[in-house]
Structure 1
Amino acid sequence: MKKYKGYLIDLDGTIYRGKDPIPAAKRFINNLQQKGIPFLFVTNNSTQVPEKVVENLRKNFDIYVTVDNVYTSALATADYVADLDEEKRSVYVIGEAGLKQALSDKHFVFVEENPDYTVVGLDYDVTYHKFELATLAIRGGSTFIGTNADTNLPNERGLVPGAGSVISLVECATQQKAKYIGKPEAIIMEKALNKIGLSNDEVIMVGDNYMTDILAGIKSNIDTLLVYTGVSTHELVKTKEVKPTYEIDSLDKWAF
């Protein structure tokens, strides 16, 4: 089994399931820390700032990491848009604090009319007026960016609308497709590699969802480890032409 210099790791379904801990995940992270192996949590959640992700891991799952271990689709989106044109820094945003903070940290100015970019992510307080402003901006020539394509999110009540559902409404209204950043797109993986400072043949992507985590790795020529503690099942993966590099039922079964 190949030894990897770094790990890119999904959160929900891999490190925890909603509010429920996955005990093997804590041991997995402890092993990485004890061995001094760098790792980065790569999550499609664009709503939270990294500090909140760290706080959640500490308070609810007894996992102690820093903000340097967290890379969200919001951060990847801000990194991507910032690199497009250094002279374009106006943006209209549908999204939560995590997305707005990431863009603010890249010195973007928030406007409602004639923005250079219109960035859409999950927004728990989205309104018709926000959709209206986004639609008018994009139809007026603003570049349309979507944080991630996840249509649903699991919570204690079931599957609720995700960022992809919000973005799809704007796509329908504008008759334009967004440029997506999050998993399974290669963009977030490229930006994550830049952050961790390693190449695609030096890391492995660990996740529970073939359609996001594993496909992101496959698209980026990164080895993948699918752990069956979340979304994907053995039956689903058997139907896929390209299989994960490794498959395990528990992170306890992984040999570093």
Structure 2
Amino acid sequence: MAEQPLQFDTSALRRDVPEVARFELALLDLDGTLWRGNDVIDGASEFVERLRDAGIRPVFFTNNSSRTPESVVAALHRMGFTASVDEVCTSAQAAADAVSQRVAEPGAIVAYVGGEGLREALRTAGFDARRADGKDIRESWVESAHAAAVGLDPAATYADLALVSRVAYRVGWFALTNPDVRLPVEDGFMPGNGAIGAFVAAASSAEVVVTGKPDPLFVQYALSRYGVPAERAFIVGDNLQTDILAGNQTGIYSVFVRSGISGEPKPGDPRPDLIVDSVANLFRQKG
């Protein structure tokens, strides 16, 4: 018997479900979608392979700007997933692309706070990425910097943020890799990337160019990078306010999984196109 083509499971249908065959790209959230903490969600690695078998490219789509693509791949491998660096798309890479759209000068200085992922993304894009160190605030390079970028940086000091704010004020804008103001932890929360960005925005009165979910810019960057139109891509995630809203704002098909932080959608929440318990339930079972 010929194998049946891959199909979405429509048992939790919220809108018309298109044929899976129309899709070429799947933007996959990580924590809460493929794993929870240190535990892989049952069937997640098999789900990724079913995408590949169907000719759909999986892209590991993350707001975490601290990690390099190589470190994301290493984490995926530890969790039992097959992945390559080219299949990782981070908000840091989108930030570097946003800077490239506004700054044409090769080797231009970009002042930033953030982790290794943001530094590498900026340097890969051809910029002279310089971590904002408050001790340098009166150095000549600060006045010649062409752009500023803000990622999550627990080690950033008041003086470091002052330096980035000065650059943002002078150039009139800065890139922000993640707008989340709170970072959930076991006993509550810590200030998130968005809180750092709010500091810089308030101090500089500069335009904030958000390059992480739910901003459409991140999805648009991914579509452009992989050469896929919006109607041939879908996004899968557990966060209604980031993953699903990102899909809705860019017109790509959105799949909400109950396996993460959001629970059941409530009135007023961003509305997904399809709801399933986990990625293991997204497609009809073979047979």
Q: For this structure pair, what is the TM-score category when the shorter chain's length is used for normalisation? A: over 0.9
1:20–1:152 Cα change, 3 Å:
farther
Q: Which residue of 1 aligns with 2:228?
A: 198
- Pick which of 15-24 and 107-116 moved more: 107-116
Cα distance in 2, alignment partners of residues 171 and 143 from structure 1:
9
Answer yes or no: is the 8 Å Cα contact 2:42–2:280 preserved in 1.
no
Matched, 1:48 2:67: yes
Q: Output aligned runs, 1:154-233, within 5 Å.
A: 154-233=184-263
Q: Which residue of 1 aligns with 2:36?
A: 17
- Pick which of 212-221 and 2-11 moved more: 2-11
Matched, 1:113 2:131: no
Count of aligned pairs: 253
- For residues 123-148 of structure 1, the C-alpha deviation after alignment (integer angstroms, 9 at most, x for no partner) is 12111221111122223335322112
Answer yes or no: is the 8 Å Cα contact 2:110–2:127 preserved in 1.
yes
Answer yes or no: is the 8 Å Cα contact 1:18–1:156 preserved in 2.
no
Cα distance in 1, alignment partners of residues 177 and 269 from structure 2:
27
Cα distance in 1, alignment partners of residues 236 and 157 from structure 2:
36
Answer yes or no: is the 8 Å Cα contact 1:205–1:224 preserved in 2.
yes
Q: Which of these two proteins has the greater Rg computed from alpha carbons?
A: 2
Cα distance in 1, alignment partners of residues 169 and 102 from structure 2:
20
Cα distance in 2, alignment partners of residues 52 and 35 from structure 1:
27
Matched, 1:151 2:181: yes
Paired residue for 1:85, among 70, 81, 103? Answer: 103
Q: Which residue of 1 aligns with 2:119?
A: 100
Task: Kindly state the Cα deviation for residue 116 of structure 1 after the two structures are TM-superposed.
Answer: 1.3
Answer yes or no: is the 8 Å Cα contact 2:241–2:269 preserved in 1.
no
Task: Kindly state the Cα deviation for residue 231 of structure 1 after the two structures are TM-superposed.
Answer: 1.6
Matched, 1:67 2:95: no
SS where residue 99 of structure 1 aligns? helix
Q: Which amino acid aligns with 1:24?
A: G
Q: Which residue of 2 aligns with 1:253?
A: 281
Task: Kindly state the Cα deviation for residue 177 of structure 1 after the two structures are TM-superposed.
Answer: 4.6
Answer yes or no: is the 8 Å Cα contact 2:33–2:278 preserved in 1.
no
Q: Which amino acid aligns with 1:27?
A: E
Q: Which runs of 5+ in 1 are unaligned?
A: none
Cα distance in 2, alignment partners of residues 134 and 221 from structure 1:
34
Cα distance in 2, alignment partners of residues 71 and 135 from structure 1:
27
- Pick which of 209-218 and 194-203 moved more: 194-203
Q: Which amino acid aligns with 1:37?
A: I
1:35–1:156 Cα change, 3 Å:
same
TM-score, normalised via structure 2 length: 0.83
Q: Which runs of 5+ in 2 are unaligned?
A: 1-16, 131-140
